[in-house]
Amino acid sequence: MKLLKKDLKEGIITLKIENIQDLWYLVKVVNVGDVVEGRSFRAVKFGDSEERKPVFISLEVEKVDYRQKPLSLRFTGKIVEGRPEEFAPKGKYHSLDISLDYVLTIRKEWKKYELEVIKSAIEDSRKKTVTILLIDEKKALLVDVTPYGFEERFEVTFPSGKKMDQRDFEREKAKKYDEILQALDKKSIIIIAGPGFEKESMRDFLKEKGYNVRMYGCSYAEITGIRELVDRGVIDEVVGEARMQKEAKLVEELLLHVYKEDGLAAYKRVEVDKAIEWSAIDYLLVLDKQILDSSVRELLERAEKSKAKVFIISSDHEWGQKLKGLGGIAAKLRFPLSD
């Protein structure tokens, strides 16, 4: 995500979408009632025919349609301004579909936590992306590290040397290596991991092609092998403190206080409301899917006014699911609440 304009006195921020994963950040900050602006097309009738005309639309958001698989984002609402006006009359409904390279202006009263979300999105876009290649002699699994977790891209099965002669085997194996090569980005850091010696062969192959490669051992060339890498801090070592690892640490710390029953965790809504009133919250964790709820947005605003730090937690990893088990909203307290 790239910041093109920021004028908080006017409530304006203009952004360019540089990565499809930027949509995950946008859905956290655009609310019903906000105004969004961007280029689009509208169907215009000319007699018996219909043409799609380019327009610039400013609309007040009434609906946010966000889907995670595949990632897509659409804002729908009434036009408050359109250019040219004859193609985009005020008061008519329209939808803006947000995609790669889209330039979007958002007009609103910005909350502190929303500005932090935008800041995080911009910082993450400056980091090198990371791809994990889990490999053994039978197969290779390509997994992208995204802001919201791990995303499997595809799997390649290697030929068996027992079923063909050496020349055919080497030719087919080379084809599979080329398939993997075509799927990799030279701007990414490639983590190669797995049991056995196949990972060394792949490391040498990719290094020769000029890729930035790191190699680690793990027990399985399966998605479960990633858990090993995370537990050993490999992901942290390669990309620094990744957002999802920060989220994991926050949820883990909160759960520790839940299990200890020391009064420093609040997760029932009535307890969280009381903690906000008492300015007792150190940080508040909210599951990403909950922030579309207007009552939750209002709660976040009250929490910020009480000097609480607010973190939005992805529902796409196991720590998000653990937060979901607590109701999707929970707080780490500065001090216990008395009866």
Whether the pLDDT of residue 339 is over 70: the answer is no
Q: Which pair of tokens denotes residue 149?
A: 């977790």
- Looking at domain 2-126, its CATH superfamily turns out to be Pelota, domain A (2.30.30.870)
- Asked if domains 130-239 and 243-333 share a fold, the reply is no
301 or 21, which is more confident: 301
Which CATH fold topology does 243-333 show? 60s Ribosomal Protein L30; Chain: A; (3.30.1330)
Eight-class DSSP state of 317 = S
Beta strands 265-266; 329-333: pairing state? antiparallel
Contact 222, 197 (CB under 8 A): no
CA-angle at 60, arms to 54 and 63, nearest 5°: 95
pLDDT tens-digit series, residues 43-89: 888 878 888 999 999 999 999 998 765 668 999 999 999 999 999 99
**pTM score, whole prediction:** 0.61
pLDDT tens-digit series, residues 129-151: 789 999 999 999 999 887 556 88
Nearest to 214 by CA among 131, 287, 272, 271: 131
| DSSP string covering 17-76 | --STTHHHHHHHH--TT-EEEEEEEEEEEETTEEEEEEEEEEEEEEEEEEEETTEEEEEE
Hey, where are the domains in the chain? Answer: 2-126, 130-239, 243-333
Share of the chain above pLDDT 90, in %: 58
Eight-class DSSP state of 279 = T
C-alpha 288/C-alpha 325 separation (Å) is: 14
Nearest to 29 by CA among 93, 110, 92, 97: 110
Which CATH fold topology does 130-239 show? Nucleotidyltransferase; domain 5 (3.30.420)
Contact 107, 20 (CB under 8 A): no
C-alpha 258/C-alpha 246 separation (Å) is: 19
CA-angle at 223, arms to 220 and 229, nearest 5°: 70
